[in-house]
Amino acid sequence: MPDRSDASPSPSPSPSPSPAPSPYTLDPTGAGQHAANERLRAQGAVVPIVLPGEVAAVAVTRYEELKEFLAHPDVAKNARHFTALREGAVPEGWPLTTLATVESMTTADGDDHRRLRGLVTQVFTPRRIEGLRPRVEELTAELLDALGEAALGGETGGAGVVDLREHFALPLPMAVISELLGVDPDLQGRLHELSHAIVSTTTTPEHVLAVNRDMAGVLGTVVARRRAGPGDDLTSALLAAQAEDGDRLTDGELVGTLLLMVVAGHETTLNLITNAVRALCTDREQLALVRAGKADWGDVVEETLRYDSPVSFFPFRYPVRDLAVGDTVIPRGAPVLASYTSAGRDERAYGPDASRFDVTRRPAVRHLSFGHGPHYCLGAALARLEATTALAALFDRYPDLTLAVPDHELPRHPSFVGNSTETLPVRLHRP
């Protein structure tokens, strides 16, 4: 045999690649979401998940990778790119179908997205939003008056206790978006029930089909009323644009745009106000910092958006080609969820105390709770106006407000899309 004593040592074998993580099945109830997010971030920036109906998907969980993905030019929103849906592999009555396929700017790309977004931008200009401030303040004061009356009746567990979510956090944004859209008061309660069901991820297939049918019917009534009696509202403006040029807006896009406005226009702000009150009542030192002038209500809102985003896993985006994100390649046509609650607590972006609520935090990066890129939320300024107004007035009127039950006992809204509780019983401690 040849002498190899003076030969260079053989190179060490390359380490085997780490095995791909097993797909994580999202809990449809949204239970333990922050703990689940921590595990997912530890697995990677991009992780395989399983949605209800055994539909395979992907979640982007870390801040930098999510920010890049949201603005990537090779990522689409239109469900025609959703391979499993196109091939008939998604079951009928799937709870996420409505969010994936509604005909609106949130599922449109390119020229269609710009056309649909342009039709509603007029409602959300800075001047128009600021002009709403007196009305938001008036509604807030009225709701606080009614809140005190409800608490005196002891309708949810004893005198002084009231469901703040039902009597305050919900009716404020619902009233504001309804006035903007021209939705009459008699339809508002039903629209909330239907939109709440749409963002739930535990809905049965039969209920999904019924909810979609009923939502189309109620929105059809809104359209019919505004067609018969136009007003100074978005629905009337959309109908006028459609009458002027039918190519600007189809009937399906009209109803889809209204659905988007109703759901996004109140569900997210409802969760934002609820989550902020929970955080402040759970950590009274943070509330004391606001009262001492070391932070303001705008700081509370921004920190809540980061720490406990109103939207958790938002569906869907689809790579139009195999796309590298971080160290993972997402296949073309895979449905991708943006994990806003996970990105908001990413220690790589916010430091080792990212899981702590801190109203004095001055992060180097902005949270992504309103999205990023061309689909950045049009209603962000309105949500901030409503939330800051509501929180300031609430704690001014009831500075000693406390949760009536421990935070961990609050029932979650059954969803991994929306992120909040189903109720928020508080004790007002009327001065």
**Nearest Cα to 394, choosing from 419, 429, 358?**
429
Type of residue at 263: V
Mean pLDDT score of the chain, rounded to an integer? 93
The pLDDT profile of the chain, 431 residues, written as one tens digit per residue, is 333 333 333 343 434 444 566 899 999 999 999 999 999 999 999 999 999 999 999 999 999 999 999 999 999 999 999 999 999 999 999 999 999 999 999 999 999 999 999 999 988 999 999 999 999 999 999 999 999 888 776 544 445 899 999 999 999 999 999 999 999 999 999 999 999 999 999 999 999 999 999 999 999 999 999 999 999 999 999 999 999 887 889 999 999 999 999 999 999 999 999 999 999 999 999 999 999 999 999 999 999 999 999 999 999 999 999 999 999 999 999 999 999 999 999 999 999 999 999 999 999 999 999 999 999 999 999 999 999 999 999 999 999 999 999 999 999 999 999 999 999 999 997 65
Contact 223, 242 (CB under 8 A): no
Type of residue at 126: P
CA distances from 295 to 215, 371, 388 (A): 41, 24, 12
Going 238 to 243 to 245 to 249, the CA torsion angle's sign is positive
Q: What is the pLDDT of residue 151?
A: 79
Two structure tokens written together for 320: 């139009």
- What is the pTM assigned to this prediction? 0.93
- Residue 112 CA neighbour count, 13 Å, CB half: 13
Q: How far apart are CA 231 and CA 264, in angstroms?
A: 22
Q: What is the pLDDT of residue 180?
A: 97
Contact 92, 230 (CB under 8 A): no
Q: What is the pLDDT of residue 107?
A: 98
If DSSP codes are grouped into helix, strand and coil, which group holds residue 50?
A: strand
Q: What is the pLDDT of residue 246?
A: 76
Q: What is the pLDDT of residue 2?
A: 37
Two structure tokens written together for 102: 């509604």
Q: What is the pLDDT of residue 20?
A: 61
Place of tokens 């609106």: 104
Quick: pLDDT tens for 122-140: 889 999 999 999 999 999 9
